[in-house]
Amino acid sequence: MIKKLIRKILGTKSKAARDPNTPVVLGPEGHGIDPRLLSNNAVRVTSTLQEAGYEAFVVGGAVRDLLLGVKPKDFDIATNATPEQVKRLFRRAFIIGKRFQIVHVMFGQDLLEVTTFRGTTSANAPKDEHGRVLRDNTFGSQAEDAERRDFTINAMYYNPANQQVLDYHGGIEDIRAKTLRIIGVPEARYREDPVRMLRVVRFAAKLKFTIEPETGAPIKVMAPLINNVPAARVFDEMLKLLMSGHALACLQQLRKEGLHHGLLPLLDVVLEQPLGFKFVTLALESTDSRIHAGKTVSPGFLFASLLWHQVLEKWTAYRASGEQTIPALHLAADDVLDSQTEKLALQRKIGTDMRDIWSMQPRFERRTGKAPHKLLEHLRFRAGYDFLLLRCASGEIDAEIGDWWTAFYEGDEITREELIASASAPREGGGGGSTGTGGAAKRKRGPRRGGRNRGGRGGEDGNADNAAPVHDGGAE
């Protein structure tokens, strides 16, 4: 009844009766898009192409977000101009891509992706033995381009000039019904590009949409096809998934659909262990919170969190075999990074950041002499400190050590010396050493000067962009 009412209001046809070559055209009253949500540069690109005699539309996820009343982060443009024709119209335009050529148009730091309408005749396109399309630069009409897109909600075109939306596959109905539906035969579409299975998960979790049964049914069976996709492309998709603002929901959906194998295969083991589950959950919730707050997140911190319990397991094994603490940790980190780099094509900088975060953890145990001051000067101190607080909050280590470092990080020089003295003094009952903060130090806590971004160079080098601490021991 509701669907019939929506069709009556929008003037759309049922999916069965719809001609895929003829779009449903929605005006401003039918779609309700607020033109103020559009990027000025997106309007500039479409108008430049249209003034040159070409068709040009905002397309894909940007239209989907506009229909949902959300300001898009990225704007893609679709046109009937070829990549070479597009390039000639803009001063800073670059043709990229092997599988399908696209044009990147730059306005300062703003990048817009311009694609030529793709054709549906891909019978002669090179494919691998599993049916994955390797290269396909066949151009076509807008209707063919819509048919080539993955999901109905991503196959709509918006013309800023007349504020019309063109809908070929019932995307507007699916948006209103919160349904994620693939265009065409699901098995064939997943075989052409297995990454679409990861995109199903990301969009379903991010948008809180239900996966249409026929769209979801083949995924568990076809999941192994992900292994045939180049590692760099899988990594890009995983990064989008983890930094979508719904990382925890995405990983839960990955496990549900059986897609985590080969990506983060040990995640199952971690999430089945109480400490591992709590640690990963806290890390992902912290990441999601930062993204929703408009803050940046370090991929290095994120992957260091996801793979920490794998490192911890190997670190324990190396120490049990006789290796000293620090060398054992380096060996464990090497093993994990070598394994995951092969599967996920982790970039060198991300791997370096992960190693720095992990290698700092034993150094937090040393709270005497000059060691705390030296650690505070580490360029990645803030990331390592945040990571330490996650370990405390998850119950992996005593929360007292996190309290001590929070007091040391925020304290003045007098407070810091008192903390070091208390850590060096024998504890009540005869114990001694580096695990007690001491009552005096806690009572004489120094004034905060600059809050959490203080403390050596660690608070000034950009590490505050890592996942924010979930611990509240005076840090905020």
State yes or no: is 150 an active-site residue. yes
Given 76, 174, 288, 386, which residue is catalytic? 76
Indicate the helix (H) or strand (E) that contains 381.
helix 381-394
Task: Provide the sign of the torsion angle of the four alpha carbons 8, 10, 15, 21, taken in this order.
Answer: positive
CA 69 to chain centre: 21
Q: Using an 8 Å Cβ cutoff, are 306 and 273 in contact?
A: no
The burial class, CB within 10 Å (0-12 / 13-18 / 19+), for 74 is middle
SS3 303: helix
CA angle, 176 as apex, 175 and 177 as ends, to 5°? 90
Provide the pairing of β-strand 156-159 with 56-59.
Answer: antiparallel
Given 74, 193, 412, 461, which residue is catalytic? 74
State yes or no: is 465 an active-site residue. no
State yes or no: is 65 an active-site residue. no
Beta bridge partners of 159: 164
CA 392 to chain centre: 25
Given 136, 145, 150, 353, which residue is catalytic? 150
Of residues 460, 433, 455, 300, the one with CA closest to residue 374: 455
Rounded to an integer, what distance in angstroms lies between the CA atom of residue 407 and that of residue 376?
Answer: 12
Q: Pseudo-torsion of CA 20, 26, 31, 36, nearest 10°?
A: 110
Q: Pseudo-torsion of CA 379, 383, 384, 389, nearest 10°?
A: 150
Q: Can you give the length of the chain in residues?
A: 476
Rounded to an integer, what distance in angstroms lies between the CA atom of residue 84 and that of residue 317?
Answer: 57
Question: What residues are annotated to the active site?
Answer: 74, 76, 150
